[in-house]
Structure 1
Amino acid sequence: MTSSTTTGDFQTKLARYADLLVRTGVNLPQGGKVRIAAPVEATELARLTARAAYRAGATDVRVVYTDPHLELALYEDGTDEAVTFLPDWVASEREAMVADGYAMISIVGEDPSLLAGVNPERVAARSKAQAQAMKTVMEAIGGMHVNWTVAAIATPAWAARVYPQLSEADAVERLWADIFTTTRVNGDDPVAAWAAHTAQLGRLSRLLNDKQYAAVHLTSGLGTDLTVGLATNHIWMGGGEAAKNGIYAVPNLPTDEVFTMPHRDRVEGWAVASKPLSVRGQLVEGIRVRFEGGRAVEVTASRGQDTLERLIGTDEGAAHLGEIALVPASAPVAQTGTLFLNTLFDENAASHIALGRCYPTNAVGGDDEAVVVAAGGNDSLIHVDWMIGTPDTDVDGITASGEREPLMRAGEWVI
């Protein structure tokens, strides 16, 4: 660690951050169990988080460390068989933890360009194999069968990509500062700050749910002109969410989005990316997609088009939308002025859409797969968010009778 991250002030904030992951992120109850997945650089945060969990009354804390360079080694030196191999027990273990009610804390901080030189066909093959093997787990987590959250750590490799003009030490310090700002850790009581913030997102969700718009229409100066039809009996959500076990959790730290389920067959027009997309270890820039009858029928990118095309070709549902999310331009992530090259952050700087799988919790009766399908929900092995919002984005709600009502003007809420 650099000297800037060993000061008393940093250590105080890091401890608050760990406490936030436990008390707000997964809201771990007395007697709860938790799985923490973290990169090898996150040992200090993982230990602090484990301590916070035990103070909250946890009966078991399991920490799993990951090293993306081992994944790079697999792609560069592994056989084709090795690339697509995943032992059955890997999925079985995670399924057993879900069944046993383990809360899930994921700490991310990967180098967004680590796999830039890897054959994208190998990355796509492994991504698909992993998605197939972990489908049951991902559906359970997406359906909030357990309380879970995702947060980040400032790793040197990620910081170097975000702030290439700075020294390694300064880049890490700057990235930590942005993480603490956007997760509201800088105040004396981050848990209370998040309670107030999620209450505001809840207010917006209730307003939109009462309206039950047939569609939303987004336009921007970049060229987005997109009408997103909404699923029948859709549910807008934002901030926190009650898991099936009754525990109210905040799945993303940070989060400033209010999101719902599109109708898979009722999306029309152009979506133009406002930020690069970091996906499968590759950077995809200049994305332009035209939707017709809900399906992506024209797909271009100024960089990484092969990766984008393979992503959309994963399965039938990958060419349809599974999420529409509205985010104000004044959100803390946007105000940092930083392009994080990480979806957890960048999606909370701009309104966005997601290709692939919907969240069943975004529809009334979503526990029943047949209900989700009938409502217009989409299924896929992937769920990939990409940003289309800008400071000049306007959003209208369209009623069943075709009337338009303003929701956002110049990137800000007007409701």
Structure 2
Amino acid sequence: MDFNRNLEKYAELAVKVGVNIQPGQTLLVRSPIECAPFVRNVLKHAYDLGAKNVHVEWSDEECTLVKYLNAPEETFNEFPRWISDQYVDIAKEGGAFLTVYAQNPDLLKDVDPQRVANFQKASGMALKEWRSYTLSDKCKWSIVSIPTESWATKVFPDVSNTEAVDKLWDAIFKCTRVDSQDPVDAWKKHNADLKLRMDFLNENNFKTLRFKSGKTDLTMDLPEGHIWLSGSSQDPNGIEFNANIPTEEVFSMPHKFKVNGVVHSTKPLVYGGNVIDNFALTFKDGKIVDFSAEKGSETLGKLIDTDEGSHYLGEVALVPFKSPISDTNIVFFNTLFDENASCHFAIGSAYRTCIKNGDSIKDDELDNYGVNDSLTHVDFMIGSKDMDITGVTYDNKEVQVFKNGNWAF
């Protein structure tokens, strides 16, 4: 009974707080077939709130794996036009997008990395117009996660499959505040707290951030006119939504050409069905000039070489070491959760909303403002309990932002 009630509350949270569906609005749900019971709950809540139509796009990991292992090479150099057209059409008409992200972290470990890289690039090119809507909050979008057996057993390998799924459900309910009496109200209070952190950073208008820990030593300038954002966003009609459930971050963009030093990962990164772990990136004038990884080095190299923009950063996000997600002491092998337990950067495209008048900057002028553009946007975790972050203002005043992994104010 508790599980069914929490599942119901989770679906309601995704619809009311995640995409915040409005009467007459269209919703596209993208989900693995294993998550069907949750998606059915989502549909019910969406229609109860007045959604005009809810489309569901199902995926199946076993079919995906069969395709990667058996399809001809040219298959991975193209992406169905009808899919990208559908996404853009829904975005143009003011629709919303909900993604249920529940990937098997090791799904493609035996697949040629070049096939994965080719398809990532092809899909990135095909979906670039649609992503221009999500990266600039021109439409409402949100991501949630649901346990699948393959994912749960990766997180909890020492228990039975059934127990692993149950444990992952419990962790998700806790991290998303679904286990509270009123999750929707809990998220209103959480968003308000994040906005206090956001306001502090915007008021200080830092020119530079310095990241220092036992392994990381990096200096990052921020573009003039940069904006810090937090958990919730607003669409063009002023309707609030939460792109990530859960979220603990306050984020902005680094200056494309003004990042220097070395940064080490602190959690595994799952990318393209593979795990990249214990890796380091070296930056010079914003560009990744060297990298190493104990696991997934070839996959990391393919990611960096996606295009010119994937050699630079597009996001800087501050997350305290002490948070509901970090406090679980679980490595989720799922970026949605792991990135919200740790400060993180993103390789690739920046969010246009993170700079003043970002929507009006033409693509060929982005470099002039220090804004990165890319076919990809991949978060990786760099926060740790010994991470110190110092902000430097334009008048050279130094302010402690993080001390020992947590907010210093």
TM over 0.5: yes
Q: Which residue of 2 aligns with 1:246?
A: 238
* Structure 1 partner of 2:314: 322
Distance, in Å, in 2 between the alignment partners of 1:112 and 1:245 is 37
Contact 1:261 1:358 (C-alpha < 8 Å) held by counterparts: yes
For 2:223, the equivalent position in structure 1 comes to: 231
**Cα distance between partner residues in 2 of 1:231 and 1:279:** 28
Question: Cα deviations across residues 360-385 of structure 1 (Å, max 9, x unaligned)?
Answer: 00001011233654321100111111
SS of 1:204's partner is: helix
Aligned residue number for residue 250 of structure 2: 258
Residue 142 of structure 1, CA deviation:
1.3
Which residue of structure 1 lines up, in the alignment, with residue 343 of structure 2?
351
Give, in whole Å, the separation in 2 of the partners of 1:198 and 1:349: 16
Higher mean C-alpha displacement, 66-75 vs 247-256: 66-75
* Aligned positions of 1:12-411 closer than 5 A: 12-221=5-214, 223-370=215-362, 372-411=366-405
| In 2, Cα distance between equivalents of 1:292 and 1:322 | 15
**1:5 aligns to what?**
none
For these two proteins, the number of residue pairs brought into alignment is 407
Supply the AA of the counterpart residue of 1:337: N
Three-state SS of the structure 2 residue aligned to 1:236 is coil
- Cα distance in 1, alignment partners of residues 80 and 165 from structure 2: 36
CA displacement, residues 108-156 of structure 1 (integer Å, 9 cap, x when unaligned) = 1110001011000010001100100111011111111111100000100
Moved over 4 A (4+): none
Secondary structure, aligned partner of 1:287: strand
Residue 403 of structure 1 deviates from its aligned partner by 2.7
8 Å CA contact retained: 1:230, 1:261: yes
Say if 1:366 and 1:372, in contact at 8 Å, map to a contact too. no
**SS of the counterpart of 2:294?**
coil
Q: Distance in 1 between the 2:367 and 2:53 partners?
A: 37
SS for the counterpart of 2:121 is: helix
Pairwise CA distance, 1:282: 0.8
For 2:84 and 2:400, locate their aligned partners in 1 and report how far apart those are by CA, in whole Å: 45
> 1 CA distance for matches of 2:5 and 2:119?
40
The code of the aligned residue for 1:387 comes to: M
What amino acid is aligned across from residue 400 of structure 1 in structure 2?
Y
Worse-superposed segment, 234-243 or 369-378:
369-378
Segment drifting more, 56-65 vs 123-132: 56-65
Deviation of the 1:87 alpha carbon: 2.4
Equivalent position SS for 1:21: helix
- 8 Å Cα contact 2:26/2:90 also seen in 1: no
Measure how far apart 1:309 and its partner are: 0.9
- 2:359 match: secondary structure: coil
Measure, in 1, the Cα distance between the counterparts of 2:141 and 2:119. 24
Q: Which ranges in structure 1 are unaligned for 5 or more consecutive residues?
A: 1-7
Q: What is the aligned-residue identity percentage?
A: 37
Out of 26-35 and 44-53, give the one that drifted further: 26-35
Change (3 A) 1:159 1:407: same
Q: Contact 1:225–1:269 (CA<8 Å) still a contact in 2? A: yes
Secondary structure at 2:257 match in 1: strand
Q: What is the one-letter code of the residue matched to 2:372?
A: N
**Residue aligned with 2:290, SS:** strand
- Looking at structure 1, the residues matched to 233 and 42 of structure 2 have their Cα atoms a distance apart, in angstroms, of 21
Do the aligned partners of 1:321 and 1:358 also contact (CA within 8 Å) in 2?
A: yes
Structure 2, unpaired ranges of 5+: none
